[in-house]
A and B are shown apart, each in its own frame.
Chain A
Amino acid sequence: MPEPVAAPLLEMRGISKSFPGVRALDGVSFEIRAGEVHALVGENGAGKSTLMKILAGAQPADAGEIVIDGKAVQIAGPRDAERYGIAMIYQEFNLVPQLDVAANVMLGREPVRAGGWLDGGAARAVAAAAVKQLGLELPLTRPVGRLAVAQQQMVEIAKALVRKARVLVMDEPTAALTDREIDHLFETIRVLRERGVGIVYISHRLEELPRIADRITVLRDGRVVGGGRVAELPQHEMIRLMVGREMDQYYPSLPPLDPTAPVVLSVRDLRSGNAVRGVSFEAHAGEILGMAGLVGAGRTEIVRAIAAADVPSGGEVLIDGKPLHARGPRDTIAAGIALVTEDRKGQGLVLDMSIRENVSLPHLELFSRRFGFVDRVGERRATRGLVQELRIRTPSIEQRARNLSGGNQQKVVLAKWLTERARLFLFDEPTRGIDVGAKSEIYELMVELSKQGAAVVMVSSELPEVLGMSHRIVVVRDGTIAGVLTREEATRERVMSLATTAHGAA
């Protein structure tokens, strides 16, 4: 669509920012026009989030200026950002779970009656108007904590609308959404774009960019290395700019499955809470077993039950043919099960600990000397090896996990489970928030683990990943297994139809 080149709504010029040992941004210039979706892409740790935090006043820049409507401005804190109409939706939402939707949308700008009493009716009316403008349906009186992730995100967007945001930044908004929810999000983004809002869109899912973005800027090592109109930038070129080299093959070739390989994991009629209702399947040594299904189908709960993160309420789990009577993760770890959880901040990392301390945590016995003293030398050596193997980008292994970029945090979570190679790896969304280069490294790692004789179970909401990386695919629906497909049988359509076909009333 040919459009006149609008003057930029907002410009960032020559922005630099350093952290101890890291040059996160090095003279970055970036502009946003009214009514465009500007995608910001780059490897993990390239500086995307840092750039946007500077814009949102969450962090000060060392150098550079920000120009809005042609005037240089100072954004010293979040309040300034709000005044200039800049809204940011982080991956961790800024919502108050106990308050209802309307109250969250209106947070900080509650209408009041004379005497300072809250005017709930007016608040709901304004919130309802915002929700309607976005073409959404949200239960205004429900506490936000009880909404699905996608709905919470919509609440954030409505919040931005009420605040009259002119620039809306979204950091990896689709990472935790289903396909349908993504369609919905994109529609909402289009509504905002038509209203003249400039949108910054950060994502590692490059394939979705042509659908939603107008322009792209690529960052590498804290510098702008390219960009342009999305129509003129094919995906492989984008990847080349991001990683600085050609990347031809995305998924490694899977070694053929040995039909005589022993069964490592067998699950029999497993039950857990309301989410897992009688699940049985097997995984063999050397096998990568994909687990597909809609968000909420119970995949996470299945792997959690196997690892006794939630103790199953019924059924049996056998490792190498031996029944497991685990009372908690401690027992399953001892049995050689590694669970890489999906929620890295909530369950994967101790954010205030260093990379070294996080990595050794599940296997600290391996680094113990007499009287329970920690063998720090061995700990350092092992951590350094893993940091290199996974190419975790950090100035030092003593860096706190909190200070790593999202993707590098995910790699630390993976590293935790590699000090001692387990028999069974359960990966729950292992590549969420991870850049293309690192993704294919993680795929290679999975193949490597399976070659060493481990069984790998991979839960993923990215269908291409499941199709490309699995020997067999287990499709989960409503806490039961809807079907198992071999690599040859599996197609996008077959998996989706198994995942969605309702049996009985929905």
Chain B
Amino acid sequence: MGTTIDGKAIEQRARSAAVRAWIRYAVVAAVLVVLLALVAYFTRGAFLDPGNLINVLRQITYNAILAAGQTFVIITAGIDLSVGSLVSLCGVVMAMAANALPFHGVALVAAVLVVGALVGGFAGFVNALPVVRLGLPPFITTLAMMLMARGLAYKLSHGRPIPVNSDAFNTIGIGFTLQGLGHLFKLPGIPVAVLWMAVVLIVSGVVLARTRFGRYVYAIGGNIEAARLAGIPNRRVITAVYVISGICAAIASLLLMARFQSGSPQTGFGFELTVIAAVVVGGTSLFGGSGTIAGTFVGALLIGVLNNVMNLANVESYTQDIALGAVILLALILDQVRKRIWS
């Protein structure tokens, strides 16, 4: 009847809800396994090669890190179109800093990251300012930032990639870690960049799901007026999510710079689209109020796997674009259907 409210009944229902959630995960996992089997068959096993799997993870690193930041923004019902340009701007500035700063080794990496985070974070702050003060739509402010940051990156670098002279970045660029784990799979280890991605994802996931700040992010996206009347510092929280997105751009940019030993004004072009696609495919609503980092990771993974499989199967790159677009659409349709059925 659902009328009596005794503690036990509530516990039981909460538990059965948890059971349902696990069944849902199990179904998703089963579907994934079947898909993987199909993929393995079509790529004649090349896909399931541990080396290739690691490769997929390495390829999605940048997208996943950017998408983690973007998830915060989109949950508040915002959008950040500037991330691709911020990757290039941060890359150029960090490359210049790497060549100019009087540090070596890990200290240099740390200092360069701080510089990048300041640039990305400040850009995020500028993105948010007109949004929280004047109520401008973030679509517009971040679009403006997208142009400005790209232009600035070209100006600073005179349009050419800036080579990084120090070899301090080799480890995070191309290095491996956890050799023991790697040897199990006859690999040199886990790429350091992948480890960075894991850390970013875990930290953002925990912040979103478990902290007060995370709760505020959801509340603002769900009902901004109710949030304000509940005393939530809306302006500060909204500013923070754009700053977080900017810092994520700096981290992704650092990894890219380390990998290519240079900061180029051309990197990151068009990234914002795949980033937003990963977030949305991962189940975050563009209307705000719902979404998870785990979902975003799955979204990034799905896109990464798709690209990888199509590469292995030698699909032409134009065809790849068509397929990718179709899969994004399909994923969203399936998600809607699932929601209808489950509610």
Q: In the complex the two chains form, is A339's CB within 8 Å of B231's CB?
A: no
The closest CB in chain B to the CB of A24 belongs to: B2
Q: In the complex the two chains form, is B5's CB within 8 Å of A329's CB?
A: no
Report the contact-size class of chain A (Cβ under 8 Å from the partner). Answer: 35 or more
Partner of A352, one of B1, B210, B222, B228: B222
- B228 contact set on A, CB distance < 8 A: 309, 328-329
Asked if A353 meets B219 with Cβ closer than 8 Å, knowing A361-B232, A396-B17, the reply is yes
- B230 contact set on A, CB distance < 8 A: 329, 333, 361-362, 416
- B229 contact set on A, CB distance < 8 A: 307, 309, 329, 339, 341, 347-348
Q: In the complex the two chains form, is B212's CB within 8 Å of A368's CB?
A: yes
State in angstroms the CA–CA spacing of A75 and B228 once bound together. 41
State in angstroms the CA–CA spacing of A361 and B231 once bound together. 8
A384 within 8 A of B: yes
Partner of A347, one of B5, B10, B213, B225: B225
Asked if A221 meets B3 with Cβ closer than 8 Å, knowing A352-B222, A352-B289, A374-B212, the reply is yes
Interface segment, one of A64-72, A385-393, A478-486? A385-393
Q: In the complex the two chains form, is B5's CB within 8 Å of A364's CB?
A: no
- B3 contact set on A, CB distance < 8 A: 45, 221, 393
The A-contacting residues of B in range 1-58, CB under 8 angstroms, are 1-3, 5, 7, 9-10, 13-14, 17
B180 within 8 A of A: no
- B218 contact set on A, CB distance < 8 A: 350, 353, 357
Q: In the complex the two chains form, is A352's CB within 8 Å of B211's CB?
A: no
A487 within 8 A of B: no
State in angstroms the CA–CA spacing of A45 and B222 once bound together. 24
The A-contacting residues of B in range 157-192, CB under 8 angstroms, are none
Q: In the complex the two chains form, is B225's CB within 8 Å of A365's CB?
A: no
Of A347, A394, A396, A398, most buried by chain B (CB within 10 Å of CB) is A396
- A2 contact set on B, CB distance < 8 A: none
Q: In the complex the two chains form, is A349's CB within 8 Å of B223's CB?
A: yes
Inter-chain CB contacts under 8 Å: number: 106
Partner of A362, one of B7, B222, B225, B231: B231
Against A, the Cβ 8 Å flags (1 = close, 0 = not) of B212-236 are 1101101100110111111111000
A397 within 8 A of B: yes
Q: In the complex the two chains form, is B1's CB within 8 Å of A374's CB?
A: no
- A23 contact set on B, CB distance < 8 A: 1-2
Q: In the complex the two chains form, is B215's CB within 8 Å of A330's CB?
A: no
The closest CB in chain B to the CB of A19 belongs to: B2
- A398 contact set on B, CB distance < 8 A: 14, 17
The B-contacting residues of A in range 187-240, CB under 8 angstroms, are 221-222
B290 within 8 A of A: yes
Against B, the Cβ 8 Å flags (1 = close, 0 = not) of A305-345 are 00101000000000000000000111001100001010000
- A373 contact set on B, CB distance < 8 A: 210-212
Q: In the complex the two chains form, is A395's CB within 8 Å of B13's CB?
A: yes
Q: In the complex the two chains form, is B212's CB within 8 Å of A393's CB?
A: no
- How many whole Å from A141's CB to the nearest CB in chain B? 30
Partner of A350, one of B10, B13, B227: B227
Q: In the complex the two chains form, is A397's CB within 8 Å of B10's CB?
A: yes
- How many whole Å from B329's CB to the nearest CB in chain A? 24
State in angstroms the CA–CA spacing of A64 and B5 once bound together. 28
Q: In the complex the two chains form, is B226's CB within 8 Å of A348's CB?
A: yes
State in angstroms the CA–CA spacing of A307 and B218 once bound together. 24
- How many whole Å from B36's CB to the nearest CB in chain A? 32
Q: In the complex the two chains form, is A221's CB within 8 Å of B1's CB?
A: yes
- B13 contact set on A, CB distance < 8 A: 21, 395-396
Q: In the complex the two chains form, is A396's CB within 8 Å of B14's CB?
A: yes
Partner of B5, one of A349, A371, A374, A394: A394
State in angstroms the CA–CA spacing of A487 and B341 once bound together. 55
Against B, the Cβ 8 Å flags (1 = close, 0 = not) of A381-421 are 00010011001111111100000000000000000100000
- A21 contact set on B, CB distance < 8 A: 2, 13
Asked if A384 meets B14 with Cβ closer than 8 Å, knowing A330-B233, A349-B226, the reply is no
Partner of A364, one of B1, B212, B225: B212
Which A residues are closer than 8 A to B by beta carbons? Answer: 20-23, 45, 221-222, 307, 309, 328-330, 333-334, 339, 341, 346-353, 357, 361-362, 364-365, 368, 371-374, 384, 387-388, 391-398, 416
22 A-B pairs (CB sep. < 8 Å): A21-B13, A221-B3, A329-B231, A341-B229, A346-B226, A350-B218, A350-B223, A353-B218, A357-B215, A361-B215, A361-B219, A361-B226, A372-B212, A373-B210, A373-B211, A373-B212, A395-B10, A395-B13, A396-B10, A396-B13, A396-B14, A398-B17
